Chains A and B, each alone.
Chain A
Amino acid sequence: MDRFSWSDGHLATHEVFVTQQSGVKLYDGEDKTNFNNGTIVLSSHNLMWRDHVDQKCVISLSLAQVVFLEESSSGLGRSAKIIVHLSAPPSTKVPGPVSSSQNNYIRLSFTDGGQVEFFRCFTEELARRRWEHTPTLQPLTAGRAQSGTQPRRAGIVGIERKIQQKHETTDKNISVAFEDLSKLMVKAKEMVSLSKTIANKITDKQGAISEDETVKFKSYLLSMGIPDPVTRETHGTGDGYYRELAKQLSHNLEQQLKDCGGMMTLSDVYCRTNRARGMELLSPEDLINACNLLEELKLPIRFRVFDSGVMVLHLLSHSEAEVINQTTQFVEENTKLTAEELAQLVGVSVVLAKERLLSSEKAGKLCRDETVEALRFYPNLFLTKT
């Protein structure tokens, strides 16, 4: 513990932020310390600990002093820990929060989890040994500035110095950004826990919160991106956004579907729709949610999931029976077909052609011949030649 020193919490010029985890307690060997609730920050050069309450209370430890790490998993009433073994303190050390300690190791206790990820980052960072490669540029420029060169920056050194400065400012901006981000996340965390208690209450007694409020609550969850724990399965209860989206989809895709054989995979739909929008893109989940509403809204296109898990949109006129008939006819005309051949004949993608053949096979109209060369389908003669 005596290897720690006080810190201002800012990263040095060449120091790179790696990861951080909140809810971490420090132990000096086996003993508890006063540093019992804070955030541990790992950078390319240092291990820092910042108190949750007193944000100015920051202590740091140079990674050069870390000998090796040990993991100790959590158990009953015991949080997961990382044991950090340290080398002897250097004689030139600045005084820190603990002047002397008998222990040659500290323990980080992770009360909020995250130790696996942190341990991984920590080991990687130790292996990279980035603290050893401090660029030589900095002392050089500093030395020149001291020897009183003109403030005018010219030549390559000037350019270098300018680049250096730029890096410094971006680095600073980034660390400010990370700090802001942490604050934001603390707020978000509160929201999440609150939403969970409300969700529990809703499930406990459906009547206590009105329909109106439930809808409002759901829209909150949607805006925050919290997975809806109450009504994940029931789609289409007054979700205006998705309804509107479903209508748009149907309007935009109907013609396109006609042009390309009446059926389209959902990934294709996703590309086309987002390419057409350009801004305010849809998320894959948005798309699925909208697709689930197509049938309810009685729109001319429909959503379907094949047995293989492939999802498609198809025209209403393009019913399964229709497709099977058509496919069987194609196979009969050509005596045999692979998915690739059918794809060329009909002008659809190979994935879809394969699905067509498979569903026709399932309906008993086709038989398969499976070889290394390809999967071929023949008309089912068991049906016709008795």
Chain B
Amino acid sequence: MRRRGAGLGAIKNKNLAQAKYKNKGAEIAENDFEQMSKQLEAFKSNLEEFARNHKDDIRKNPEFRSQFQEMCASIGVDPLASGKGFWSEMLGVGDFYYELGVQIIEVCMATNHRNGGLMTLDDLRETLIRSSGRSRQDVSSDDLLRAIKKLKVLGNGFSVIPMGPGRYMVQSVPGELSMDHTTVIQQAEKTGFVTMKMLKENLKWEDERSHMALDYLLKEGQAWVDNQDKSGMTLYWLPGLFSDTNAAT
């Protein structure tokens, strides 16, 4: 027969063992902390070397930037969290995105009166490049999306509405767009306008539903009414979808 540890003695033994484990755990915790300080130092010097060699790449090459960001995201690090972090101080990634953020806000504010705070990402990029004199390949859409994502914490003023693969609208005024509103904008994407008839035919929407969605967009200044079309129908234009380049021609 095998002897089982039972009774008072066994419990005592168990308690003792547990206390010992606990002590050991605390010891390890302390070690961990020390190790972290050491590793941090090592990491800092690694980063310094990396910065010496590739700082320019980060600033100049959008592909490299997006790769960098993705890798950071995959390990759970946010290099843009603070301007005081290693990443920003040594690599200057922060300044790049924060400045982009400032420029995005400025462009959105400047065009706000015309498009009701709604514009396509491509249009934003064009305008931004033109006004700031950056070279074309310098800023990718990915950069813009990341910068906008950061701006989101400044109140709900900035959001990105996905329109389809690779296409986005940027909303720079507070106010949530519902699914219906977004769908209306999507419908208008090709032509620049929608009509009640289009919504009825393409989406099988009741007139009431279309009215609700369109009225909201009108009120927010994101859609404009055109009663002068030859067909006699009311067209609802979305100025946010006109790019400046198209408007000029």
Contact = CB atoms under 8 A, between A and B. Distances in A.
Contacts of B158: 267
Contact of A267 (B71, B81, B88, B151): B151
B79 interface: yes
B162 interface: no
Interface stretch (B36-44, B118-126, B135-143): B36-44
A97 interface: no
A55 to B, nearest CB: 17
A17 B63 contact: yes
Contacts of A187: 39, 42-43, 46
Interface string B49-70: 0100110010001011001101
Nearest to B86: A223
Interface residues of B, number: 64
Nearest to B96: A281
A185 B99 contact: no
Nearest to A305: B155
Contact of A197 (B32, B39, B157, B218): B32
A217 to B, nearest CB: 7
Nearest to B214: A372
A187 B38 CA distance: 12
A191 B67 CA distance: 20
Interface string B124-164: 00000000000000000000000000111111111000000
Interface string A13-48: 000110100000000000000000000000000000
B84 interface: yes
A372 B101 contact: no
B181 to A, nearest CB: 15
A222 B82 CA distance: 7
A283 B82 contact: yes
Nearest to A371: B219
Contact of B154 (A180, A266, A351): A266
A16 B62 CA distance: 13
B106 to A, nearest CB: 6
A285 B154 CA distance: 8
A192 B36 CA distance: 10
A90 B102 CA distance: 54
Contact of A192 (B32, B75, B218): B75
B76 to A, nearest CB: 5
B156 A285 contact: no
A265 B43 contact: no
B116 to A, nearest CB: 11
A244 to B, nearest CB: 10
Interface in A142-188: 173-174, 176-178, 180-185, 187-188
Contact of B40 (A180, A189, A191, A266): A191
A198 interface: yes
Nearest to B156: A309
Contacts of A117: 70
Contacts of B152: 284
A214 to B, nearest CB: 10
Nearest to B77: A225
Contacts of B219: 370, 372, 374-375
A283 B151 contact: no
A195 B88 CA distance: 20
Interface in B155-212: 155-158, 173-175
Interface string A261-274: 00001111011001
B75 A185 contact: yes
A226 B76 contact: yes
Contacts of B98: 274, 281-284
B84 A222 contact: yes
B33 A188 contact: no
Interface of A: 16-17, 19, 113-114, 117, 173-174, 176-178, 180-185, 187-192, 194-195, 197-198, 201, 208-209, 213, 216-217, 220, 222-227, 241, 265-268, 270-271, 274-275, 279-288, 305, 308-312, 351, 370, 372, 374-375
User: 3 closest pairs, A vs B, by CB?
Assistant: A309-B156, A311-B155, A281-B98
Given A198-B29, A267-B154, 15 more contacts: A173-B57, A198-B33, A201-B29, A216-B37, A222-B84, A223-B85, A225-B72, A225-B78, A226-B77, A267-B105, A267-B151, A270-B102, A280-B83, A286-B84, A351-B157
26 contacts: A19-B67, A113-B74, A184-B46, A184-B50, A188-B72, A188-B77, A201-B25, A201-B32, A208-B26, A222-B84, A223-B85, A225-B85, A226-B78, A266-B157, A267-B154, A267-B158, A268-B105, A270-B102, A279-B95, A281-B99, A283-B98, A284-B153, A308-B156, A312-B155, A351-B173, A351-B174
